[in-house]
Amino acid sequence: MTEPAIHRLSPLPSQTGLSDDDIAALYTEGAGEPWLRVNFVSSVDGAATHQGLSGGLSNDADSRVFALLRRLCDVVLVGAGTVRAEGYGPMRVDPVSERARSGAGMTPNPVFAIVSAALDLDPRSGIFRDAPERPIVLTTELSRPEMREALAEVADVVVCGRDRVQADRGLAVLHERGLTRIHCEGGPHLFADLIAARVVDELCLTISPQLEAGTASRIAIGAAPIVPLGMRLAHTLTGDDTLLLRYVRN
Ligand SMILES: NC(=O)c1ccc[n+]([C@@H]2O[C@H](COP(=O)([O-])OP(=O)(O)OC[C@H]3O[C@@H](n4cnc5c(N)ncnc54)[C@H](OP(=O)(O)O)[C@@H]3O)[C@@H](O)[C@H]2O)c1
């Protein structure tokens, strides 16, 4: 399959489509360690879902960058609402990414870290049963002890707050394990908590060329900081009539 062409609009326009290595270099430029990157796709009018899922907003250009961002991280962090809605399976990257990661001295696949208070997660599901790396579940003191126990058979279960996972404690758990390149794939409630805790270093936002209207959520919803988090536009890519924006914190 031929790759969808992606060009750079800023800082300087690229004349030819970018290679995967070019794109990866753009997404690692200026990234510190530890680093929390968040990735979302939105319609032009701000919807985070089409018919309840993000997939209907994505296209080949978005999928290409989505896969590359997984290639670059130590851990993929996702809220349980997204895991359930999107039907996540085991955290496994494509074979090309596996080889690239191994060549770069990384584990072939990133760790999957799930944030949940209710722990409505099935320990027998493929997420855990077929996981190439032992997953991590970040949860709360008020979660059901029997669910914590059942999930502890198949994952590292760590309490990081009383009734909500506190972002700083959750990130500390990942950092302690050497998982410093953190890639969050949402969803909107988790993203809002991360913004409120002022721990977001980067937002990768795909603007998909469609109008949705309706009642879909935006990409961050819930807790709000009193002082907005200032961001700087690091680059703008385009492909498939789509904008691929990279914002990093000021
Ligand atoms: N456009 C995109 O790029 C994109 C990306 C991701 C998701 N989505 C869409 O967003 C929708 C899901 O939205 P959502 O806001 O429910 O997603 P979410 O933030 O992934 O899920 C919320 C759930 O995650 C857990 N959670 C999040 N933050 C927590 C915290 N600080 N402490 C404890 N638990 C926490 C809780 O799970 P428990 O209920 O288990 O306690 C909470 O109910 C889906 O339709 C999905 O398709 C879109």
Instruction: Give 20-81 as a DSSP string.
Output: HHHHHHHHHTT--SSEEEEEEEEETT--S-BTTBSGGG--HHHHHHHHHHHHT-SEEEEEHH
Position 35 confidence tier, pLDDT thresholds 50, 70, 90: very high
Position 100 confidence tier, pLDDT thresholds 50, 70, 90: very high
Residue 43 CA to residue 58 CA, distance in Å, equals 9
Residue 197 CA to residue 131 CA, distance in Å, equals 29
Residue nearest to atom 16 of ligand 1 (CA): 81
This prediction's pTM: 0.97
Q: Is the model's pLDDT at 224 over the cut of 80?
A: no
Q: Is the beta carbon of 50 within 6 A of some atom in ligand 1?
A: no
What's the number of CA atoms in the CB half-sphere (13 Å) around residue 22?
12
The rounded Å distance from CA 82 to ligand 1 centre is: 5
Position 40 confidence tier, pLDDT thresholds 50, 70, 90: very high
Position 12 confidence tier, pLDDT thresholds 50, 70, 90: confident
Position 223 confidence tier, pLDDT thresholds 50, 70, 90: confident
116, 136, 148: residue to mutate for ligand 1 pocket, most atoms within 8 A of CB = 116
83, 115, 215: residue to mutate for ligand 1 pocket, most atoms within 8 A of CB = 115
The encoded tokens of residue 137 equal 């579940």
User: What average pLDDT does the segment 128-139 reach?
Assistant: 98
Position 119 confidence tier, pLDDT thresholds 50, 70, 90: very high
Q: Is the beta carbon of 53 within 6 A of some atom in ligand 1?
A: yes
User: What average pLDDT does the segment 24-53 reach?
Assistant: 97
Q: Is the beta carbon of 40 within 6 A of some atom in ligand 1?
A: yes
The encoded tokens of residue 186 equal 């949402």
